[in-house]
Amino acid sequence: MNKELLIKNLRYLIDSDEFSQTSIALMFGEKQSTFNECVNGKRIEVPIRILEKFSFRYNVTIDDLLYKDLSEEYEVLDNFDSEKNSNSLKRAILPLLSPRYMFNNTMFEEAFELTEKAFKCENIKEFNKNICIYEHAIDLYRTVWEETKNCEVLANSISLLLWIFYRYTPSTIRLERSLNKKGVFGMSEIRQGLLNDLSEDICDNYERKRSAFLKKYYDLVYDYIKELKHNLEYVDLGDFYLTLCNIFHFVEDPSEYSRTTCNKAAEMMLIQQYYMGNKYTIQYLYAYS
């Protein structure tokens, strides 16, 4: 084993990650001091448990960690078939629940089909043309919820609302490029917009749409989250959606300061929920593994 090569590979993976080294250590369940010593080459050997966690998170084999220069052979998180994986990755982040017994309800069935179409649509212009159709699905979900009080209905409605909201923002162009390239839909794409790369008119147009959509559905989203958190079976899902609201900047004050604060809050919430065993958070964190 070439220790220098191993440390180089570990550093390469950490430096390419959207999370900080501190956050990765927490997610791995390792003491910060132990983790730092391992990845900085200050330990004689890196424990196999840590190598296994690197292997799982970054989708590389332990042999490759030990014997290959990953900086030359890998582009981190870039080994996906976009067409095959982009929709499943989005669904790992935005839960879409499909209880069989609800498909006896024609309104739920119609809303679910429209939601799936929204998730599958990668073309921004085409997506925006169909916004009114997707909003019809939100209305259908609301009617079904009032009739059935079924929490899966709320979950699907929140996922669709957040997806529409995000597609209204300028950074969706970056997202679409990323999906076309590598099938990844994660916090790095959400955090980094293209505001500086777009004309002022385009930015203003997106922001107007974004603000109007936020004003229209803000109370509804948080009311739905409250309903989930009041149901013991769906507390974890409610907590996860609160985190997503920060990730997607679905907040009353959409200023740049607020967005930075949201990013910090979301990262800490993800770590806390990971430790609490929240299955939705774990699925999000390892969606690309």
Write the CATH number for 8. 1.10.260.40
49/90 same-domain check: no
185/68 same-domain check: no
The residue type of 204 is: D
Q: How many domains does the chain have?
A: 2
pLDDT band at 210 (very low <50, low <70, confident <90, very high): confident
Task: For residue range 53-88, list pLDDT tens digits in order.
Answer: 888 777 788 888 998 888 875 544 333 333 334 455
Report pLDDT for 282: 81
212/184 same-domain check: yes
Backbone angles phi, psi at 168, to 5 degrees: -80, -10
Domain carrying residue 25: 3-73
119-128, 200-209, 258-267, 277-286: range with lowest mean pLDDT: 200-209
92/158 same-domain check: yes
- CA-CA distance, 273 to 236, in Å (whole number)? 8
Tokens standing for residue 25: 């250590």
Domain boundary among 24, 41, 73: 73
56/147 same-domain check: no
105/168 same-domain check: yes
Task: For residue range 231-274, list pLDDT tens digits in order.
Answer: 999 999 999 999 999 888 888 865 655 777 887 888 889 888 98
- CA-CA distance, 10 to 143, in Å (whole number)? 51
136/54 same-domain check: no
User: What's the burial of 97, exposed, middle or buried (CB within 10 Å: 0-12/13-18/19+)?
Assistant: middle
247/269 same-domain check: yes
220/180 same-domain check: yes
Report pLDDT for 202: 45
Q: Nearest-CA neighbor of 263 among 159, 189, 178? A: 189
The distance from CA 186 to its chain's CA centroid, rounded to whole angstroms, is 5
Domain boundary among 12, 43, 73: 73
Domain boundary among 73, 93, 123: 73
211/153 same-domain check: yes
Tokens standing for residue 205: 């147009």
Axis crossing angle, helix 235-247 with helix 256-275, rounded to the nearest 10: 150
